[in-house]
Structure 1
Amino acid sequence: MQTQASYTFSFLREHDIPALYDTFVAAFDDYVIPIKISREEFAIKIRREGVEPSFCAGAFHGGQLVGFILTGLGEWQGIPTAYNAGTGVLPEHRGHQLTKRLYAFLLPKLRESGIEQCLLEVINGNAAAFKVYRSIGFGVVRTLKCYRSPVGELVLSSKEPEHTVEIRQVAKPNWKAYADFCDVRPSWQNTKEAFCKSPDQKLVLEALVEEVPVGYVAFFPRTGAIAQLAVHGENRNRGIAKTLLKEAIKRAQVPALLLLNVDQTNTTVATFIERIHLKHFLTQHEMLLSLQ
């Protein structure tokens, strides 16, 4: 535990989660895009993003949690990685460099634990956060875009695919085969590891042509969020992705689809998204800090 200028820094424990939720909600209430999240949804986020309370750094003032870094642990491109699943500071405690001080407190433990890099996303336009992360040593890796549209506004033509396509729900997804369908890696919360960890209801649908899988969609029916959507390169532009989405919509429990953190270097997906009228609502920068 460390104390600096009336702030105490320590790592959190499991019993701190209720207070962490309250601080999270208050810290993000006036965010660039205000975040409204229930306790149940917060618990899902913690599981899905691999957050480990003992690696979450907290800033306390008068015994109250006033700032935090949620830390998820796992591998990123085969390298032991700490993912920032959220940094927040209560409005009345901003201006004290708490984010920078929280990282100064956190990084030694990450290094001692064999973590080799830190990963995060920052919203484009959040200049203050971007400046802080750059000063800590983070660099931009890629630009990610987020999309959302009511299903009634999507253009998913009724034209039948060139080949007979069978859609089936799979209990044991073949993630190794699916990797060959993808041109770029998904963001942290959309990886197969995060998808499988999530306690939220989830479904994987495969598209098959002559009994051979040629595409898939992994999504969360409760929220309409698409974690992964891909079609094998030789089978693109044949209506298969649209067929998968139409089937996902049938099983969704909400009237909109959500697609978060799409890599903008993936022009194939970006063009497809534009063509079906999914609306862009947010841009983020993925940033990385090497601890080597």
Structure 2
Amino acid sequence: MPDFRFSFLTQKDLPQLRETFLKAFADYVVPIQLNEEQFQLKIRREGIEANFSVAAYVGDEMVGFILTGLGEWQGKPTAYNAGTGVVPQYRGHQLTQQLYRYMLPKLRESGIEQCLLEVIQDNAPAFKSYRSMGFEVTRSFDCFRAQKEDLLLSVEAPEGVQISPAVKPDLKTYRCFRDTAPSWQNNFEAVKRSGEQSLTLEARNQSQEVVGYISFFTLNGAVAQLAVDPLWRGRGVGTALLREAVRLTEAPAIMFINVERTATGMVSFLERRHLRVVLQQYEMLLPIV
């Protein structure tokens, strides 16, 4: 058994953390490689706090970590697992459980009431590990992706509907359009934290009423939220919003991460636009008080 040492992180540890992140996820179910800018965006978007994130070391080498985002979830102070990684040669030592054991006392002392995470459904060892700690499945998600040129976006927007950037996002109205609640990294707080890297567009009718919106991240092409007033669905509003988001996105592909499987209307819409499921995840929750 390696002699693991555990420590909470500081801002100065972030360069080493990114290097370990790249090593840990290079052979992952879906390999994840983030450049410096993308890594910084992830930290902002998911509310990651270095001093609540924990790492495992062997000597001076960081060999595992849990990135922790802090915020509210369903009205309770929550710690979100924004990524658990273990360098390949140190797997098989129940390091995830050890990292959580080290971290949980600090979370409780800080008034955190629950831990939230998502895990890839095909990642059986990770799922089993979280279940053994008491995490319970709350939702099932599908993750969609398509290259821009493969998207089917030829449907015309209804006459009189204009798409433009939201001057002051009307969150109350937006919520009325949604069939399901977004996941942690797609909620309004995540969009707000991302600042200039995120953009919200609105569709307005001739009476200047909002009839749909889309919030997305221009750098990586991830769509956080897309919803249309139920009375305006089936008329091309969603497609018009998505088409404009595609035009304003720098990335070569568009992604919808964590679409709740019960949102059959949204799933059908994405499939008709030629987006395909690339990943399926469980959302899991652990009360810690």
TM-score, length-scaled by structure 1: 0.95
1:244 aligns with 2:261: no
Contact residue 174 and residue 213 of structure 2 kept, 8 A? yes
For residues 14-38 of structure 1, give each alpha carbon's deviation from its aligned partner in whole angstroms, at most 9, with x where no partner exists.
1111111111111111111111111
- Letter aligned with residue 23 of structure 1: T
Aligned to 2:257: 260
CA distance in 2, matches of 1:153, 1:201: 24
Per-residue Cα deviation, 1:178-231 (whole angstroms, up to 9, x for no partner) = 111111110110111011111552211100112100100111222222111000
> 1:128: which partner in 2?
125
Q: Contact between 2:222 and 2:255, CA under 8 Å: does it hold in 1? A: yes
Q: Please give the alpha-carbon distance, in whole angstroms, between the structure 2 residues aligned to 1:5 and 1:282.
A: 33
Corresponding residue SS for 2:177: coil
Q: Which amino acid aligns with 2:15?
A: P
Q: RMSD of the TM alignment (CA)?
A: 1.4
Q: Name 1:227's counterpart in structure 2.
A: 224
Q: CA deviation at 1:160?
A: 4.4
One-letter code of the match for 1:253?
E
| Structure 1 segment 38-53 matched on structure 2, within 5 A | 38-53=35-50
Query: In the superposition, relative to structure 1, how do residues 200 and 90 fare at CA in structure 2: closer, same or farther (>3 Å)?
Result: farther
User: Whole-Å Cα distance in 1 between the matches of residues 86 and 157 of structure 2?
Assistant: 51
* Distance in 2 of aligned mates of 1:276 and 1:150: 11
Residue 65 in structure 1 maps to residue 65 in structure 2: no
Q: Kindly provide the amino acid, as one letter, of the partner of residue 153 in structure 1.
A: D
Deviations 1:231-288 (A, max 9, x none): 0112111111011111112222233211111011111111111221111111111111
CA contact (8 A) 2:163 2:241 kept: yes
Amino acid corresponding to residue 127 of structure 1 in structure 2: A
Structure 2 match to 1:171: 167
Partner of 1:192: 188
Q: Is the 8 A contact 2:157 2:237 kept in 1?
A: no
Q: TM-score, normalized by length of structure 2?
A: 0.96
Aligned to 2:147: 150
Paired position in structure 2 for 1:212 = 209
Tell me how far apart the structure 2 counterparts of residues 291 and 248 of structure 1 sit (CA, whole Å): 39
Answer whether contact 2:155 2:236 (CA < 8 A) is retained: no
Aligned to 1:80: 77
Residue range with higher mean Cα deviation, 170-179 or 4-13: 4-13
Kindly provide the CA deviation profile for residues 98-129 of structure 1, in whole angstroms up to 9, marking residues without a partner as x.
11101111111111111111000001110000
Maintained 8 Å contact 1:70/1:85: yes
Q: Is the partner of 1:180 in helix, strand or coil?
A: helix
Q: How does 1:69-108 map to 2 (within 5 A)?
A: 69-108=66-105
Question: Could you list the runs of 5+ residues in structure 1 that have no partner in the other structure?
Answer: none
Query: Do the aligned partners of 2:215 and 2:224 also contact (CA within 8 Å) in 1?
Result: yes
- In structure 1, distance between residues paired with 2:155 and 2:176: 28
| Aligned equivalents of 1:199, 1:247: Cα separation in 2 | 19
